[in-house]
Amino acid sequence: MKIDNVKTKIMEVSRNPNIVGDMDFGGSQPEAVSTFKYPGSTITSHNRIQEEVRLRVVAGTRCSWALDNTLRSRILSSLTIKQIYTAIIRPVVLYGWETWALPKQ
């Protein structure tokens, strides 16, 4: 396997800083980043989920505004509106929640 140092990014998540500095990448060091998007969730080197949760809530709000006329329709029953929420809005808000690291309290 060949690593492309131009496209490759490194994010170090460790209690011991500079472990990546000890690794050999064939002469050149890839760019170090503190956050990146993976496949749609923002991952940070400090395992902070506040920004990701905020972005998910914003996405859910946008989705509900897009469906505002549908959700306010008097033709639909409350059960149908609940099904729309469960099928469309909630997955937008909870996308990637499996990867969120919860802080120890």
- For position 24, what pLDDT does the model report? 64
Phi, psi (5° rounding) for residue 57?
-65, -40
**What sign does the CA torsion over 87, 88, 91, 95 have?**
positive
Does this model's pTM top 0.85? My answer is no
pLDDT tens-digit readout, 36-85: 777 767 777 776 778 788 888 999 999 999 999 999 999 999 999 999 99
Task: Fill in the DSSP letter of residue 86.
Answer: I
pLDDT at 15 over 80: no
Count of other CB atoms within 10 angstroms of residue 35 = 13
Measured CA to CA, the distance from residue 83 to residue 77 in angstroms comes to 10
Angle at 94 between CA 90 and CA 98, to 5 degrees: 150
Calculate the average pLDDT of the chain.
Answer: 79
Q: What is the pLDDT of residue 67?
A: 93
Measured between alpha carbons, how far is 14 from 20 in angstroms, rounded to an integer?
10
